[in-house]
């Protein structure tokens, strides 16, 4: 009998793909966050598509995860005057 997954891993294992999430996970020297769309799940890992790249995160390294609201609309660029 396997033990239940900790809550952040349960959330990531059950959240629908496409959900906007923030995931805090362990890296060498501390912790970091990935903010973006949950795009894939495989054995023991999940992939979060951030603004810069796809981040593959091993579920055992996750210390916190939750759904977050959509990003605010981007501000229009200011036009420089003459």
Cβ burial, residue 64 (10 Å; 0-12/13-18/19+): middle
Residuewise pLDDT in 10s, the chain (82 residues) = 455 556 899 999 999 999 999 999 999 999 999 999 999 999 899 999 999 999 999 999 999 999 999 888 888 777 776 6
Reported pTM:
0.81
Measure the CA angle with vertex 38, ends 33 and 40; round to 5°: 120
Taking a C-beta distance cutoff of 8 angstroms, is the pair 55, 48 a contact? yes
Token pair in block for residue 50: 């951030």
Alpha-carbon dihedral sign for residues 21, 51, 31, 62: positive
Residue whose token pair is 């939750």: 66
């Amino acid at each position: 009998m396997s033990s239940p997954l900790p809550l952040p891993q349960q959330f990531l294992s059950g959240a629908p793909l496409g959900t906007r999430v923030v995931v805090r996970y362990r890296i060498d020297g501390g912790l970091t966050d990935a903010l973006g769309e949950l795009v894939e799940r495989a054995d023991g890992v999940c992939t979060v598509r951030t603004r810069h790249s796809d981040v593959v995160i091993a579920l055992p390294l996750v210390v916190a995860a939750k759904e977050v609201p959509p990003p605010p609309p981007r501000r229009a660029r200011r036009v420089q005057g003459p």
